Amino acid sequence: MEYRVLPHTGLRISRLSFGTMTFGSQTDESVALRMIDRCLDAGINFIDTANVYNQGRAESILGMALAGRREKVILATKVRGKMGEGPDESGLSPAAVRKALEASLQRLHT
């Protein structure tokens, strides 16, 4: 695997990333867990997810897959997408971003 250093961070990041958009829908949990294992075995350490991917299910599955090896990966997630009906359930206000981030961190077990 080829890696690059992310500027201003010192993070060594794989040139390839892996996306989890289908986790919890087209890709069931057992297959998703095996896919993450294969990615890590191949040296991929950059994994992309989002709070709205299957209403947080993708983040939850990813959190399970990374149990005990979270330090091996660099995670990217997103905010803004609607996760509920309340005023801070979507958008980019400071309160909405904070709420989305805290919920993502909880689902990711990190």
Q: Which residues are catalytic?
A: 53
Task: Return the CA Rg of the chain.
Answer: 14
Q: Are 51 and 23 in contact (CB under 8 A)?
A: no
Strand runs (DSSP E) across the chain, as ranges? 3-6, 11-14, 17-19, 46-48, 74-76
Four-residue CA torsion sign, 23, 64, 104, 87:
positive
Q: What is the 8-class DSSP label of residue 2?
A: -
